[in-house]
Amino acid sequence: MFLIPLHHNLKKMIDPNVRVRFAPSPTGPLHIGGVRTALYNYLFAKKHGGKLILRVEDTDQTRFVPGAESYIIESLAWCGIEFDESITVGGPHAPYRQSERKDLYQQYCIQLIDSGHAYYAFDTPEELEELRKNAEKIKKTFTYNTESRKNLYNSLTLSEEEVKRLINSNVPYVVRFLIPENTEIAMDDIIRGRVVVKSETLDDKVLFKSDGMPTYHLANIVDDHLMEISHVIRGEEWLPSLPLHILLYQAFGWNLPQFAHLPLLLKPDGNGKLSKRDGDRLGFPVFPLQWFDSKCGEISSGYRESGYFPDAFVNMLALLGWNPGTEQEIFSIDELVQAFSLERVGKAGSKFDPEKTKWFNHQYLIKKTDQELAVEYQPFLKEKGVEVNIKLLKKIIGLVKERVNFVKELWEETYFFFHSPEAYDEVVIKKRWKPDSPEQMTSLAEMLKSVDDFSTENIDVAISVWLEKNQFGMGAIMNALRLLLVGASKGPHLTDIMAIIGKEETLHRIHKGVQTIK
């Protein structure tokens, strides 16, 4: 019996110890790059039967934006990304908001000071700013590092008594990490392989701010450890701080999680990271949901409001930086879960392509049933003051859905089913409306009157008999007739339209058109 391989594979894939987190900062709306990071975390967790945690990193009180937190949750929910542990559903490691875990970080900070891995620094922001400016003047960058810390105002240079005195007299201070001298830090990244840096190139980052809050670096490591995070999957912008993070884990004596730094999403034209501006400039949404900035009153468009289907949006995002290695492009979220692996995430940044995003939406739209589309289309029709029964609407949609990318575009392809043309396209008149057209059309109307069962098939037969009898060309007649019925040179099969709008309306449109077009 050869049962072992299958069983073995299954066992290897399913790992309940997999715990990943998405850790946004509530400083504004989440842009599609952030959504993709969340998505990859989700896919990875699901694939391995592990857990996905949402942790809000709100340690910078000055940048807090009201509504950002709920925006993030709503956006991801729209994408179908659900969390096993979060600020809303709770979990064994609650609270999941760092501002609510404030007291926790202090003890870890003290632990680092006591073990000699961190120190107090009393330099004011103004003093440091001054040093940076001076360094800039001679084309250098000031860094608080192994060299400069020897000449600055900190517990390394000050006497123990002086440090105590300063702290007791409430002089503001920060805690900085003491970067070790002359060591190399080796980092293993699932996507990038091994990266080695020298400790001299690092600076003594602030771990604890003078306002009593930890910085990202401290809070992040402490929480990832406490929350038993197994894999840290985040954007490439964090790669430069990875050595610091590794050093932090080592200073605490904790086991390292595995790291995977995702490539960035780049703007469609030119170079650089995708930003809100690009969306405004090139006319595509950068955010999953519409966002209203109460500060400046600006509205940024969202994929949801623009008419994208969440599954199409997710599908597009998944393929931006990851690929399955096969030629399959259309994936349901469950298929993505099955196919996903961090090993197949590329290293280079991806330029975002708004055109292909539309194509994805089109693929999902044509896959939907007429029933589903009819339900989604109804609100648009209501807005136009059109009432139509669902059975007929399904039929109409079936005729035109291949032509559109979005539900909202259905109107341009279907309005003529609901009312007679308000105008006739001048270009088409010039091309299709001949001197004998009025007479021909009137004669055609007369003939159509006698078609009792006004079905597509019957009309087709009646017209071809009539054309034969009068020796009229199919092209000339049908194009002129389309002009009268639709008002333009577009739309599905003409007799399908006629059957749907009915005999009376067809005759009405012919007579009205003949009178209107001169």
The least distance separating RNA from the CB of residue 143, rounded to whole angstroms, comes to 5
Q: Which of residues 141 and 151 has its CB atom nearest to RNA in the complex?
A: 141
What residues between 227 and 266 interact with RNA by CB under 7 A?
A: 236-241, 264, 266
CA dist 272 and 435 (Å) reads 59
User: For RNA, which is the closer residue by CB, 367 or 382?
Assistant: 367
Category of 380 on φ-ψ map: left (φ > 0), alpha (ψ -120 to 50) or beta: alpha
* Spatial CA neighbour of 507 closest among 475, 481, 472: 481
Q: Which of 115, 183, 489, 516 binds RNA (CB under 7 A)?
A: 489
The site for RNA, by CB under 7 A, has a size of 83
Phi, psi of 208 (to 5 degrees): -135, 125
Q: Does 41 bind RNA (CB under 7 A)?
A: no
Answer for which of 289, 312, 441, 494 binds RNA (CB under 7 A) is: 494
Determine if 282 is a binding residue for RNA (CB under 7 A): no
CB of 101 to RNA, least distance (A): 13
Q: Under 8 Å CB-to-CB from 72, ≥6 apart: which residues? A: 24, 26, 29, 30, 34, 54
Q: Does 402 bind RNA (CB under 7 A)?
A: yes
Closest approach of RNA to the CB of residue 273, in Å: 3
Work out whether 182 is an interface residue with RNA (CB under 7 A): no
Phi, psi (degrees; rounded to nearest 5) at 57: -100, 85
Q: Which stretch binds RNA (CB under 7 A): 293-301, 332-340, 440-448, 470-478?
A: 470-478
Under the criterion CB under 7 A, does residue 193 sit at the interface with RNA?
yes
Q: Count CB-CB contacts under 10 A for residue 367.
A: 13
Structure tokens at 27: 């400083």
Whose CA is closest to 262, among 346, 195, 352? 346
Q: Is residue 59 part of the contact set for RNA (CB under 7 A)?
A: yes
Q: Which of 271, 389, 471, 515 forms a contact with RNA (CB under 7 A)?
A: 271
Note the Cα 461 to chain centre separation in Å. 51
Which position among 65, 197, 388, 451 is part of the footprint of RNA (CB under 7 A)?
A: 197
Task: Quote the tokens at residue 471.
Answer: 């020796």
| Residue 71 found at the interface with RNA (CB under 7 A) | no
With contact defined as beta carbons under 8 Å apart, do 491 and 413 qualify?
yes
Which residue, 132 or 511, has its beta carbon nearer to RNA? 132
CB 289, CB 78: distance < 8 Å: yes
Sign for the CA dihedral angle at 227, 229, 232, 233 comes to negative
Burial class (CB in 10 A: 0-12, 13-18, 19+), 2: exposed
Which range, of 68-76, 103-111, 447-455, 471-479, touches RNA by CB under 7 A?
471-479
Exactly one of 86, 414, 479, 506 binds RNA (CB under 7 A); which one? Answer: 479
- Span 318-347, contacts to RNA by CB under 7 A: 319-323, 325, 327, 329, 344, 346-347
How far the first Cα of the chain sits from its last, in Å, is: 84
* 416 closest CA partner among 496, 480, 479, 476: 496
* Residues in 339-398 at the binding interface with RNA, rule: CB under 7 A: 344, 346-351, 353, 355-356, 358-359
Residues of this chain, 128-157, that bind RNA according to CB under 7 A: 128, 132, 139-144
Beta bridge partner(s), residue 174:
121
Catalytic annotation present for 395: no
Of the listed 276, 351, 395, 408, which one is catalytic? 276
Residue 302-321 contact track with RNA, rule CB under 7 A, x = bound: -----------------xxx
> Counting every residue, how long is the chain?
518
Instruction: State the nearest-atom distance from the C-beta of 348 to RNA, in Å.
Output: 3
Q: For residue 346, how far is the Cα from the chain centroid?
A: 18
Site for RNA contains 203 (CB under 7 A):
yes
Least distance to RNA from the beta carbon of 324, Å? 8
**Given CA atoms 165, 166, 169, 173 in this order, what sign does their dihedral have?**
negative
The set of catalytic residues is 276
